[in-house]
């Protein structure tokens, strides 16, 4: 028994012979946690080897499903934290350390500005013998910060990603090794190369770090540098909260060439139509704005066309900047302007809806024209500007403004997309009410009207619906269907068709 405190080997045999049932797994996790917290002295290679052997038993690929039935959902998080805490106490002497078990592989070495060390792992992920690789790269610029030799330790886990997913009931799938990196404080960033487990070309990846306090994957710890169907390269910033890193498979990815063609053809036609629309408005402005009502009406039409034109142009810029390797500052700027101008389109649609209600329900000349114009511009530009600025101010400092795979508002981490969806859908509801009121108002025929007048009333109702539906943005209501059923290509095609050609139909029909 005297040997047990030295290398911990006294408990390994019992652990390795125990069945990997949920209760035993939980007990081993608790034991590893107790060892990592009570052992304060430097850990040598023998202790690390014994500790890894115990962890390896419960990290076995055959035990992944059993983690789901452990009452403490945080057991997998506790295991990861315990292994990292124990490894931080590992003392690397003159010779590099290489402790390789099937489901946990620890490497450690001394680094300085004069030598360059990379850790390369190749580990089996399942019973069939499939292997994936992972690499930890320290750049020369980073190593120059180290004046005297300091130790670097890295640990690779091939199954821990699936275990975290099973125990925490995570919806997102880890698509590579989980790599823990313990660096001296002088080194601030590393590059990690992950071979993908699933090599489907259409599934993009997200570089993430494990937040040790919040027990979740966090995109703020890493940035995607390069990606293809085989591997992903991440730049990460280790800290006291982020020690372990991996790549996640992007959820709900729906890519179709049909949608791409519809979008870009529709955008092209829309941009041309908008330019023609604005040109015609400029030519006939003095003739069509002789009354106060017509002036305000055409003011809304012109601003809807102008903001949608700017939104379409910035959308194209954002599309070119999107991808695995994005220019961050340019992507942030493009996303901000796309968000602002598309919101402006909606708020100008709201402004026109309120103007229609005002004309129907209130005597029109009760308010001065200058006051009404100021109100329209406040709604059309002021409200979206406030929403767009608040969104970027709240989410961008924590790198939660953008999606990792595209120049658009983030959803998985910060739900920044709600800053577009909520106002847009609220305006759609208001505009739907407006359409209903217009229909009710225009369907009342005069007393003693003939059948011909009844038909004209029906035609007028249909024309109101045909004009107001695209112009006031009710077609965006189909966007709800794309959120409810993200995998339905039919809903996405309908939504893309209706909105790509929105102004080319709505703008022209309103001007007729």
Condensed to tens digits (0 to 9), the pLDDT of residues 247-305 reads: 988 655 455 566 667 667 777 887 888 899 899 989 999 888 888 878 888 898 899 88
Every domain range in the chain assigned CATH 1.20.1070.10: 257-511
pLDDT in tens, 340-355: 999 998 899 888 888 8
Alpha helices by DSSP H, listed for 155-291, are: 160-168, 257-288
Q: Which residue has 């007729």 as its token pair?
A: 512
Mind giving me the DSSP string for 297-330? HHHHHHHHHHHHHHHHHHHHHHHHH-SSS--HHH
CATH class for the domain made up of 257-511: mainly alpha
Q: Left if phi > 0, otherwise alpha if psi is -120 to 50, otherwise beta: which for 226?
A: beta
Q: Are the C-beta atoms of 163 and 26 separated by less than 8 Å? A: no
- Output the CA torsion 218→220→224→230 (10° steps): -10
Dist CA 177 CA 196 (whole Å):
8
Distance CA 99, CA 56 (A): 11
Residue 212 is classified by DSSP as T
CA dihedral 92, 97, 99, 103 (to 10 degrees): 80
Question: Using one digit for the tens of pLDDT, what is the confidence trace for 449-472?
Answer: 455 555 555 555 555 555 555 555
pLDDT in tens, 9-38: 667 888 888 899 999 999 999 999 998 888
CATH ID of 4-249, from 3.40.50.2300, 3.30.70.20, 2.60.220.50, 1.20.1560.10: 2.60.220.50
Domain with CATH 2.60.220.50 in the chain: 4-249
CA distance 260 to 20: 49
Q: In this predicted model, what pLDDT tens digit does every residue of 174-205 receive, in sequence order?
A: 999 999 999 888 888 889 999 998 887 666 78
């Amino acid at each position: 028994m005297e040997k047990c405190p030295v290398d911990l080997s006294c408990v390994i045999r019992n652990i390795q012979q125990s069945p990997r049932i949920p209760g035993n797994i939980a007990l081993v996790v608790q034991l590893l946690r107790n060892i990592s917290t009570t052992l304060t002295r430097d850990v040598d290679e023998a202790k690390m080897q014994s500790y890894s052997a115990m962890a390896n038993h419960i990290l076995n690929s055959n035990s992944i499903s059993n983690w789901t039935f452990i009452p403490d959902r945080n057991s997998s998080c506790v295991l990861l934290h315990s292994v990292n805490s124990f490894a931080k106490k590992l003392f690397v002497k003159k010779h590099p350390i290489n402790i390789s078990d099937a489901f946990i592989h620890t490497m450690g070495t001394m680094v300085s500005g004069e030598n360059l060390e990379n850790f390369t792992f190749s580990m089996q992920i399942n019973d069939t013998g499939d292997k994936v690789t992972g690499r930890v790269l320290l750049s020369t610029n980073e190593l120059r910060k180290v004046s005297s030799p300091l130790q670097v330790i890295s640990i690779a886990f091939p199954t821990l990603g699936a275990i975290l997913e099973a125990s925490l009931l995570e919806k997102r799938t880890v698509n590579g090794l989980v790599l823990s990196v313990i660096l001296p404080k002088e080194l601030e960033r590393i590059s990690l190369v992950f071979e993908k487990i699933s090599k489907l070309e259409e599934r993009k990846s997200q570089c993430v770090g494990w937040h040790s306090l919040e027990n979740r994957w966090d995109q703020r710890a890493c940035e995607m540098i390069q990606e293809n169907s085989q591997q992903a390269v991440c730049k990460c910033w280790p800290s006291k909260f982020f020690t372990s890193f991996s790549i996640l498979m992007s959820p709900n990815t729906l890519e179709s060439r049909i949608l791409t063609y519809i979008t870009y053809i529709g955008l092209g036609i829309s941009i041309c139509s908008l330019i023609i629309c604005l040109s015609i408005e400029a030519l006939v402005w003095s003739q069509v704005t002789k009354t106060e009502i017509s002036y305000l009406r055409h003011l809304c039409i012109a601003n809807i066309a102008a903001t949608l034109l700017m939104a379409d142009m910035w959308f194209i810029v954002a599309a070119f900047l999107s991808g695995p390797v994005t220019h961050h500052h340019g992507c942030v700027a493009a996303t901000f302007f796309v968000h602002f101008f598309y919101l402006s389109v909606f708020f100008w649609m709201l402004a026109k809806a309120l103007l229609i209600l005002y004309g129907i329900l209130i005597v029109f000349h009760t308010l001065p024209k200058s006051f009404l114009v100021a109100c329209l511009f406040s709604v059309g530009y002021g409200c979206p500007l406030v929403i767009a600025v608040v969104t970027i101010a709240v989410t961008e400092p924590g790198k939660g403004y953008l999606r990792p795979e595209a120049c658009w508002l983030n959803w998985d981490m910060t739900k920044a997309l709600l800053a577009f969806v909520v106002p847009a859908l609220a305006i759609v509801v208001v505009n739907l009410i407006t359409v209903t009121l217009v229909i009710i108002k225009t369907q009342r025929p005069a007393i003693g009207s003939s059948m011909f007048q009844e038909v004209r009333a029906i035609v007028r109702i249909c024309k109101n619906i045909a004009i107001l539906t695209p112009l006031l943005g009710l077609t965006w209501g189909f966007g709800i269907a794309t959120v409810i059923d993200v995998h339905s290509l039919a809903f996405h095609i309908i939504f893309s068709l209706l909105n790509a050609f929105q102004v080319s139909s709505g703008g022209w029909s309103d001007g007729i």
